[in-house]
Amino acid sequence: MSTRDAYVLLEDGTRFDGESCAAATHAVGEVVFTTGMSGYQESVTDPSFAGQLITFTYPHIGNYGVSERSMESERVWARAAIMREACNNEDSADAERGWLDWLTDCEVPAISGVDTRALVRHIREAGAMRGGIFPGEITEAQAQALIAAEPSMAGLDLASVVSPTTASLHGDGDGPLISVIDTGIKLSIVRNLIDRGARVVLHPCSTSAQDVLAEDPDAIFVANGPGDPAALDYVADTVRELVGKKPVWGICLGHQLLCRALGLETYKLPFGHRGANHPVKDLQTGHVEITSQNHGFAVLGPGGARTLDTNEPVRWDTDFGTAQLTHVNLYDRTVEGFELLDVPGGAVQYHPEAGPGPHDSLHLFDRFLARIAEAA
Amino acid sequence: MPRRDDIHTILILGSGPIVIGQAAEFDYSGVQACKVLREEGYRVVLVNSNPATIMTDPEFADATYVEPLLPAPVAKIIERERPDALLPTLGGQTALNLAKALHDDGTLERHSVELIGANYDAITCAEDRELFADAMATAGLEMPESAIATSMDDAQEALPRLGLPCIVRPAFTLGGRGGGIARSEQEYEQIVKRGLEASPIGQVLLDQSVLGWGEFELEVMRDKADNVVIVCSIENIDPMGVHTGDSVTVAPQQTLTDALYQKLRDQAIAVIRAVGVETGGSNVQFAVNPSTEEILVIEMNPRVSRSSALASKATGFPIAKIAARLAVGYLLEEIDNDITGVTPASFEPTIDYVVVKWPRFAFEKFPTASPTLTTHMKSVGEVMAIGRTFSQAFAKALRSRELDKPPVPRACSDEELLAGLETPTADRYEAILELLRRDVGIDPIHARTSIDPWFLRELERLAKDPQAPFAGERSFKSVDTCAAEFPARTPYYYSGWERKATHEVTRGERQSVVILGAGPNRIGQGIEFDYCCVHAAMTVRESGRDAVMINCNPETVSTDYDTSDRLYFEPLTLEDVLGVIEVEKPEGVIVQFGGQTPLKLAAGLVEAGVPLLGTSVEAIDLAEDRGRFGELLERLGYQAPPYATACSVAEALEKAQDVGYPLLVRPSYVLGGRAMEIVYSSDGLADYLRREAPTGDDKAGHPQGLQSQVSGEPGTPHTAPETQARPTIFLDRFLENAVEVDVDALCDGHEVWIGGIMQHVEEAGVHSGDSACVLPPHSLGEEMLEQIRAATRDIALGVGVVGLLNVQYAVHDGRLYVIEANPRASRTVPFVSKAVGLPLAKLACRVMLGERIATLELPTGHEGLGFGDHVSVKEAVLPFDRFDGADSVLGPEMRSTGEVMGIARDFPTAFAKAQAAAGSPLPRSGTAFITVTDSDKPGAFAVAQILHDNGFQIIATRGTAEAISRMGVPVLPINKIGDGSPHVVDWIERGDVDLIVNTPTGFGARTDGWEIRRSAVAHGIPCLTTLSAGVSAARAIAQAIKLGEPDVLSLQELHSGAHASPDGAPVA
Ligand SMILES: Nc1ncnc2c1ncn2[C@@H]1O[C@H](COP(=O)(O)OP(=O)(O)O)[C@@H](O)[C@H]1O
Ligand SMILES: Nc1ncnc2c1ncn2[C@@H]1O[C@H](COP(=O)(O)OP(=O)(O)O)[C@@H](O)[C@H]1O
Ligand SMILES: [Mg+2]
Ligand SMILES: [Mg+2]
């Protein structure tokens, strides 16, 4: 691993120096941060990070290397890793390869030695923005040009980039058949469904409602994924055609898309939720769960409210009847989940499948399958 | 759910004296709980026998009892105060065990007191190893193969199944006392025997060994709606086999994959549910095999602990505060995270820095004890350091330890060093760093220590370039529980090093005063000094300035971010302190309250142009330089014992003649009488000098700085004693059978106010920190007291003290001698404050901030003797039971870890209370064994007489027996060990002895006495090693028999009538 001068530059001109520690190229995109203290490999392989450069707030990244079983998809989707103290050790029991060697193999650039806390504080104040990491020899002017050339996240369809081109079946259990609109699903979600006996068909997100209905699934699942839900009306329209005909469930981007299909609005959060420690209250059990989060957009509450000032299961009127709030974020009181009362369906904004993060919400998959059974 | 209003008065139990395994962390937790519960409008009744705690300051509770933490006195308190609930989870093992006892003897039920925080079943389930094992099994969690033994036979039966090595752990003991690792059949027998004796219920758990597995701790919180959060994960760098209290630990965990960490998290949650802790914090310990990913549960503590204090300081999540709110009915989501102010406590802190905790050991004080680290805790304190990276934090922690001398690996070849690593010892990291510097690579070290390769790689980089972590600029960042996701309100800072300084300090406009803390607890410098620092912070705030605290001890109240306006969690070295000063630009710095630690920095600070408040460096030197102080005394017309100073062995031997034997010898500039000995002849002196190779002579042998190099600080002040060209040996004429007196006084440069005069129970020669003392003095005439007051006034003014002064005197043949003067807050300030009902440290701080004593409106007619008609006794608590082989005879080298206070209407009762509080309650009947040196023989009879008159059987060794029976007291002579069985030790082992008075028969020839004291310690039999203490004990016993169970009285009652103190509160 060679270390060379490199720097992070944000579109507002803010600069942080470091050394490049993986692929010797530059990368531009939206600069975001995640506060999880472990699970770096899961994060960079999570398709939801497509088009983004991940700043890890935890300083030591790479401590236990990388391994096949920590993959959340078949490749790295994040554009780059921004770190305070990167590590390439291979001698952890779990390591099949060193973290930085692996990134290099995957041609993903990374930077270390950055004052990531200062960077995060800047993003917290100024909001997530475009930026990039650049080898020292690229001048700031050149860098600014590269950043400017990069479209901003709002209005960006990245799902089509991460979505599969053909449908595929997974699992051979005797549980329900679930058709997934794959806007960039994480393997942990597929695993959680299959482990509970489900058979899962992953469809390209450009799939049509007809194709999906043709295989007569027991339920539809709208996956997590990257980018702006507002740019995915073609997916929302597909979903709209499915709601009412089949139970429709979703996670993260899927939550946003289902809402848009129901006629509800989404908006961009100042700097998103990314981490493994957000408290979410489950209004059905009354329990507070520590959740894994990774989203930059959110759903507006009833009456277009960005935040909810109650823990009551408030309701929306949707094009498909009433929707009822099931989960609320206790950090910033944004919408974290809802269920439909008149037709089968619902979704959560956070990541019950963890990977990385706490397991408090794994039981949601049981609830989800139970609802499918009820609907059948 | 709202706060419970069906309870009104809550009883909180403290943890008593500072002992190994239970230190200041419980004062920190207790203080937080008291504050919170009173904020919530509850009436708080507090019991703690430790006067050096902030929690026992009367303003922290509605009724404060400085009484022994034993069922009888606490039952009396319950009768008087009628609490509705008892919160037992904040006072460590002591409080849990006591709560259990009060439940078992029916007291709680009789007065319908509800246990809140942890109920009885949860406590027993967590504490009884057998019940715990069952609970884990039911919850489907794995533990090491184990067996419970209540007898040696059980143990033998289990051995084949468990195999060797085998871990022996007594039930219900603190910090694993009495346990150990048995590697051979013989060791197995010894340790099981010791363990059965140590366990109050005679039970040991025998564990199959998982030595070398990773050791992890999770701090868990649960509310009564069954919401659970993990506050912090802690990884022990020292793998299984070294007690977590003795391990170097790091937060958060560094080496587990997310998948494996989440498994631990799931299991920790399963454990707290299985044990049934309804509300509050628990500490769960795991062993993890990194290659097989096996996870074993080791234990859980259903209460706040050393680790939870560490977790609170490491994350900013105040566990005790929140535990207290949960205990009275709140849910996590209803409690604010006061660091962000906008988010609830129902979350998991995430941090963007690394925290390293280092234990502080004191093996140098117990030369005969085994220095290996094992499953029972031996460290006396700890430091914590925060850095942006592991190496920053580790190096900062190294220099925070503030060792007298950096330990330098004795063995020198690679092979020897490697071999040494096979048994963990206190200086293993110095050896590891040395080896890594020599390029042996991490593998041979991993092979011997099982330390995770990740840590070894980090240490390798550090060893090769100690300065690397400190490249770039010092940058003060804040601890905010959320990795900067939200703005932090609470000003709690640490220094990291970054390319460019990006300070997050919000300084504000107000003047600030920096208070330097005392650093790690150690023998000779304990919680008393933190107590004073906290009072200084309070006073500075009351004066309208910002109080700024610098300290590195995670156990303490001073490092609670609520204590000061700004907290800098930093090492107390000159460089680090100047770093803070640079951003703080304070009005002044206070070095008087943190013991010797800040005092050592005073000169350097002044050189750097930093204004000191209070006593000047010049004055400090005048008091501390033996030569200059001697001249001052002469000028003032006071006597010091004849003394000389020497720079070399030869010079010492020569000068000793002029001074005259017996001599008291010591190296210069040490606290707590380090390496101080009494020698009776030139041979004795020569021998001492050989052993305690004075630093001057062995500089060569101490290549300056393994430690200071690695800590990134060449020549930090903690190595000052080595580097100064000052006299290195002090010789004082030892005054035999002198009465020692301690005085704490206040001086503003013009006027002197005597805070308290304490007479020691043991004669001079027993370190002031180890001897019991009484206020007011019980046998000094008014004339002598006047002399003492006069001398103290003259010395205070002569030295030029502004603030506190402590003077120690010896009264010998009716003559007053000055032993030493410490121009700073002393160990006895908290005791005196509580005895006289005036906050000495606060008053001193006001003087240092510019007030005159005249304007403090101090009550008159006190003259250092206190007010009202009560007597206060301080007793020291010694850690001999933790160091097999250590001799329990008291001497001029301080070895106590803590202290207790007994308050009563008369001296004997106060003394008895102090003894009980210190852990050796005096018997009311039975057999007393007396064996004393010839010079004590005449006096021995007095002790025998009183005990005999009170129905004790007296037994004694021949010589002592003759002396006693000659005076007509019936006594049974028994064998010395030499005379063959049944001898004295057999008697003790049989449990036929209830009280021992044993003064060492001359120096050198101690073997018999040593055996006696050892078995006394092993069997927890009160053993007095001076005649004066023996007499006091006898009188105390007589009084107790006459009056029965002594009354209890709260400090508020005690001082209310007496007078009103300057700042309203009766005492502070
Ligand atoms: N089965 C075991 N094998 C090896 N070491 C052990 C085992 N059980 C405990 N230990 C070590 O002993 C220490 C003390 O044990 P623990 O159960 O935590 O007692 P304590 O109540 O004193 O904390 C642990 O920190 C661990 O390092
Ligand atoms: N000349 C002396 N004669 C008798 N005892 C002494 C003498 N000097 C000191 N001591 C004893 O040694 C103890 C420690 O000595 P001191 O000077 O107070 O050291 P420290 O700085 O550790 O407190 C004192 O408390 C006293 O009991
Ligand atoms: Mg333990
Ligand atoms: Mg002294």
- H, E, C per residue of B725-773: CCCCEEEEECCCCCEEEEEEEEEECCCEEEEEEEEEEEECCCCCCCCCE
Question: For residue B1062, how many other CB atoms are within 10 A of its CB?
Answer: 17
pLDDT value at position B670?
56
How far is Cα B509 from Cα B522, in angstroms, rounded to an integer?
37
B687-697: per-residue pLDDT in tens?
Answer: 888 877 544 43
Query: Average per-residue pLDDT in chain B?
Result: 91
Question: For residue B251, how many other CB atoms are within 10 A of its CB?
Answer: 28
Instruction: Find out whether A153 and A229 touch, Cβ atoms under 8 Å.
Output: no
pTM exceeds 0.90 for this model:
yes
Tell me which residue in B332, B453, B499 faces A288 most closely, judged by beta carbons.
B332
Interchain pair A84, B388: CB under 8 A: yes
pLDDT value at position B410?
63
Nearest CA in chain B to A65: B257
How far is Cα B461 from Cα B824, in angstroms, rounded to an integer?
41
A102-148: per-residue pLDDT in tens?
Answer: 999 999 999 999 999 999 999 999 999 999 999 999 999 999 999 99
Q: Return the residue whose CA atom lies nearest to atom 5 of ligand 1.
A: B241
Indicate the residue type of B735: L
Question: Which residues lie below 8 Å from residue B132, measured CB to CB, with a gap of 6+?
Answer: B125, B126, B275, B299, B300
Q: Which of residues 67-96 of A touch B (CB under 8 A)?
A: 67, 69-70, 84-85, 87, 89, 91-94
Could you tell me the distance, in angstroms and rounded to a whole number, from the CA of residue A263 to the centre of ligand 3? 56
A220-242: per-residue pLDDT in tens?
Answer: 999 999 999 999 999 999 999 99
Provide the pLDDT confidence category of residue B490 given band limits of 50, 70 and 90: confident
Instruction: Find out whether A287 and A42 touch, Cβ atoms under 8 Å.
Output: no
Could you tell me the distance, in angstroms and rounded to a whole number, from the CA of residue B763 to the centre of ligand 2? 10
Instruction: Find out whether B764 and B864 touch, Cβ atoms under 8 Å.
Output: no
Interchain pair A358, B348: CB under 8 A: yes
How far is Cα B642 from Cα B633, in angstroms, rounded to an integer?
12
- The 3-class SS string of B47-95 reads ECCCCCCCCCCHHHCCEEECCCCCHHHHHHHHHHHCCCEEECCCCHHHH
Any ligand 2 atom below 6 A from CB of B673: yes
Q: Which of residues 95-124 of A touch B (CB under 8 A)?
A: 113, 115-118, 120-121, 124
Instruction: Find out whether B924 and B1037 touch, Cβ atoms under 8 Å.
Output: yes
pLDDT value at position B938?
86
pLDDT value at position B672?
54
A13-67: per-residue pLDDT in tens?
Answer: 999 999 999 999 999 999 999 999 999 999 999 999 999 999 999 999 999 999 9
Query: Average per-residue pLDDT in chain A?
Result: 96
Instruction: Find out whether B318 and B336 touch, Cβ atoms under 8 Å.
Output: no
How far is Cα B296 from Cα B735, in angstroms, rounded to an integer?
58
And the tokens for B1063?
A: 């700042």
Catalytic residue among A87, A252, A278, A289: A252
pLDDT value at position B712?
44
pLDDT value at position B1000?
74
Let me know if A351 is a catalytic residue: yes
Mutate to test the interface with B, among A41, A63, A271 (most CBs of B within 10 A): A63
Instruction: Find out whether A299 and A265 touch, Cβ atoms under 8 Å.
Output: yes
Q: How many CA atoms lie within 13 A of A355 on its CB side?
A: 22
Let me know if A252 is a catalytic residue: yes
Q: Looking at the complex, does the CB of residue A287 fall below 8 Å from at least one CB of chain B?
A: yes
pLDDT at A175 over 60: yes
Instruction: Find out whether B259 and B288 touch, Cβ atoms under 8 Å.
Output: no
Instruction: Find out whether B813 and B510 touch, Cβ atoms under 8 Å.
Output: no
Integer-rounded Cα radius of gyration of chain A: 20
In ligand 1, the atom with minimum distance to the C-alpha of B215 is: 27
Any ligand 1 atom below 6 A from CB of B603: no
pLDDT at B1005 over 50: no
Tell me which residue in A117, A355, A359 faces B352 most closely, judged by beta carbons.
A117
Any ligand 1 atom below 6 A from CB of B211: yes
Could you tell me the distance, in angstroms and rounded to a whole number, from the CA of residue B958 to the centre of ligand 3? 47
Any ligand 1 atom below 6 A from CB of B298: yes
pLDDT value at position B1002?
47
Phi-psi region of B439 (alpha: psi -120 to 50; beta: other; left: phi over 0): left
Nearest CA in chain A to B482: A35
A72-82: per-residue pLDDT in tens?
Answer: 999 999 999 99
Let me know if A74 is a catalytic residue: no
- In the predicted model, what is the mean pLDDT of residues A343-371? 96
How far is Cα B91 from Cα B303, in angstroms, rounded to an integer?
8
Nearest CA in chain A to B222: A288
- What is the SS3 assignment for B927? strand
Q: Which of residues 336-375 of A touch B (CB under 8 A)?
A: 354-359
Strands B354-360 and A168-170: unpaired
- In the predicted model, what is the mean pLDDT of residues B857-871? 88
Specify the higher pLDDT residue, B669 or A1: B669
- In the predicted model, what is the mean pLDDT of residues B598-617? 97
Q: Which of residues 464-483 of B touch A (CB under 8 A)?
A: 475, 477, 482-483
Angle between helices B306-315 and B319-327 (to 10 degrees): 110
Give me the percent of chain B exceeding a pLDDT of 90.
Answer: 76
Instruction: Find out whether B850 and B71 touch, Cβ atoms under 8 Å.
Output: no
Please measure the distance between the N-terminal and C-terminal CA atoms of chain B and give it in whole angstroms. 35
B127-141: per-residue pLDDT in tens?
Answer: 888 899 999 999 999
How far is Cα B635 from Cα B580, in angstroms, rounded to an integer?
41
pLDDT at B709 over 60: no
Question: Which residues lie below 8 Å from residue B820, measured CB to CB, with a gap of 6+?
Answer: B629, B807, B808
How far is Cα B637 from Cα B639, in angstroms, rounded to an integer?
7
Any ligand 1 atom below 6 A from CB of B236: no
- In the predicted model, what is the mean pLDDT of residues B580-587? 97
Q: How far B128 CA lies from chain A's nearest CA (Å)? A: 29
- Which range, of A314-323, B406-415, B1003-1012, averages the lowest pLDDT? B1003-1012
pLDDT value at position A133?
98
Question: For residue B369, how many other CB atoms are within 10 A of its CB?
Answer: 18
Interchain pair A279, B344: CB under 8 A: yes
Nearest CA in chain A to B232: A37
- Which range, of B243-252, B535-544, B877-886, B960-969, averages the lowest pLDDT? B877-886
Indicate the residue type of A96: E
Contacts of B344 in chain A (CB under 8 A): 279, 330
The continuous run of DSSP H or E covering B219 comes out as strand B214-222
pLDDT at B60 over 70: yes
Nearest CA in chain A to B497: A115
- In the predicted model, what is the mean pLDDT of residues B642-659? 91
Instruction: Find out whether B24 and B533 touch, Cβ atoms under 8 Å.
Output: no
In ligand 2, the atom with minimum distance to the C-alpha of B822 is: 21
Contacts of B258 in chain A (CB under 8 A): 36, 38-39, 42, 70, 355-357
To test the pocket of ligand 2, the residue of B664, B828, B894 to mutate (highest count of ligand atoms within 8 Å of its CB) is B664
Choose among B381, B469, B14, B608: nearest CA to A59: B469
- In the predicted model, what is the mean pLDDT of residues B839-857? 97
